[in-house]
Amino acid sequence: MERLTSPPRLMIVSDLDHTMVDHHDPENLSLLRFNSLWEHAYRHDSLLVFSTGRSPTLYKELRKEKPLLTPDITIMSVGTEITYGNSMVPDHGWVETLNNKWDLGIVKEEASKFSELKLQAETEQRPHKVSFYVDKSKAQEVTKELSQRFLKRGLDVKIIYSGGMDLDILPQGAGKGQALAYLLKKLKTEGKLPVNTLACGDSGNDAELFSIPDVYGVMVSNAQEELLKWHAENAKDNPKVIHAKERCAGGIIQAIGHFKLGPNLSPRDVSDFLECKVENVNPGHEVVKFFLFYERWRRGEVENSEAYTASLKASSHPGGVFVHPSGTEKSLRDTIDELRKYHGDKQGKKFRVWTDQVLATDTTPGTWIVKLDKWEQDGEERRGCTTTVKFTAKEGEGLVWEHVQQTWSEESNVKNDSSWII
């Protein structure tokens, strides 16, 4: 958050499973559309917050399976764990507030008396979250009885039913909504209260997000019955909350447009990049678009035309250098020439490219440094490179690529130099 010197323009607080991530779309298209929109138009002045029911363990697993961006803030275990930045620094202050009228031992003891409750995996049992599976038909009754028992034992807990199967027991002060309220308060004291906040969700544990004042909300089209029911009973007349027509991340993009929170056209929805050349004054945009072009080129989704390579060459410096992750130095223009022979080589294959944490800084007048992570999913293999691009801006000529340097990302599961082009 330190990188922001003024209040963020937009803060998106999104659930992951069935909201940001569509588990029914093996191509991850809506997620990839959201990713390019975020990196293109929001990353530099906005905040991305993931708020998931998953524990840190399962959250990290999901990151390996799906092309998720790196959020600025991660809220896990149904609002009981808040962490900041890439290295996920925990918010100890938040944890302290959760101990009020909470006793893990008593919660487990009382819950174990219910045969209808089946304990979830060990990884999902957290210091301030105890989780079970329970049949839909039993959920209401069990919740009611559990609450009474906890009350008798002097505890103040919150029981949340999600996804028509999960039952979470948390301290009363916890939950996704309370965690968001805490975060907003914290940002406000730092003078960084977001101009707009958009909460996105699909299931029971997201309901609280939609009752935080001054927050826009979107329930994605595929929202669960329990969330729609909650909405009908509690927030039907709130114009700040919509039920989107589109699934998952598509619904988030739809809400950005609906509430007029900023640009809502993903670069992935633009078919011809050469056409939008004139607006190209932002080096971050240039990079997002280049790697999108690169994906389409290799998938054979753009025409194998000289015009493209000629335009790329024209915007790269004649003496420009590319340092490949292997350490080999090449000329930038030769790299573009080499690209020619790869047109369509990934046609019909599982091949996707996305950029993450695209941030541009203008070091000296007329010079820009763009840092980003470039990821490539190639079949079952995923590789990523920390990428630095140096641009020079010349009056009337737009941006010129001067230097590109890549090194393998720590999280890359393979660091195989061969067949990595750029």
Tell whether residue 18 is a contact of Mg ion (CB under 5 A): yes
Tell whether residue 58 is a contact of ligand GLC (CB under 6 A): yes
* Crossing angle between the packed helical segments 104-111 and 136-152, to the nearest 10 degrees: 130
- 202 binds, options Mg ion, ligand GLC, none, Cβ within 5 to 8 A by partner type: Mg ion
Sole window of 50-58, 285-293, 313-321, 337-345 interacting with ligand GLC (rule: CB under 6 A): 50-58
Sole window of 162-170, 331-339, 345-353, 355-363 interacting with ligand GLC (rule: CB under 6 A): 162-170
Least distance to Mg ion, CB of residue 224, Å: 8
Q: Are strands 89-90 and 81-84 parallel, antiparallel or unpaired?
A: antiparallel
- 18 binds, options Mg ion, ligand GLC, none, Cβ within 5 to 8 A by partner type: Mg ion
Alpha-carbon distance 280 to 269, whole Å?
A: 17
Sole window of 12-20, 229-237, 373-381, 408-416 interacting with Mg ion (rule: CB under 5 A): 12-20
- Interaction pattern, residues 196-215, with Mg ion; x per rule: CB under 5 A: ------xx------------
First-last CA distance in the chain: 30
Q: Helix or strand or coil: residue 242?
A: strand
Least distance to Mg ion, CB of residue 17, Å: 4
Tell whether residue 124 is a contact of ligand GLC (CB under 6 A): yes
Task: Show contacts of 201-204: CB within 8 Å, 24+ apart.
Answer: 201/14, 201/15, 201/19, 201/176, 201/227, 202/15, 202/17, 202/18, 202/19, 202/227, 202/248, 203/15, 203/18, 203/162, 203/163, 203/227, 204/160, 204/161, 204/162, 204/163, 204/166, 204/230
Could you give the angle at the alpha carbon of 75 between the alpha carbons of 74 and 76, nearest 5°? 110
Tell whether residue 205 is a contact of ligand GLC (CB under 6 A): yes
Segment 166-185, which members bind ligand GLC (CB under 6 A)?
166, 168
Q: Which of 46, 120, 222, 355 binds ligand GLC (CB under 6 A)?
A: 120
Closer residue to ligand GLC (CB): 162 or 254:
162
Residues forming the site for Mg ion (CB under 5 A): 15, 17-18, 202-203
